[in-house]
Amino acid sequence: VSLNQAECSLETVRGRVSCSWKRVNGGAEILVHIPPTASAKFPFRGRINGEEIEKNSYYPAGEYKIFKE
């Protein structure tokens, strides 16, 4: 069995956190929503809007579309 996409969300004391991913072009497109009073650490390398992100980078609240090869 092989997964081509998945999604999840969780209600936290800081708001809803959600994440989804799907396979595209030999990699994965990851969509992440971080609630307004939170931040997140992405434990992988990838690209946001064509710019490289380093492993374990912290990002403030917002919505991010990440491409990971």
Residue 15, pLDDT score: 96
Where does the pLDDT of residue 2 fall: very low under 50, low under 70, confident under 90, or very high at 90 and above? Answer: confident
Mean of per-residue pLDDT scores for the chain: 93
DSSP-derived secondary structure for the chain: ---SEEEEEEEETTEEEEEEEEEETTEEEEEEEEEEEEEEEE-S-EEETTEEE-TTEEEEEEEEEEEE-
Residue 52, pLDDT score: 93
What average pLDDT does the segment 4-14 reach? 96
What pTM did the predictor assign?
0.84
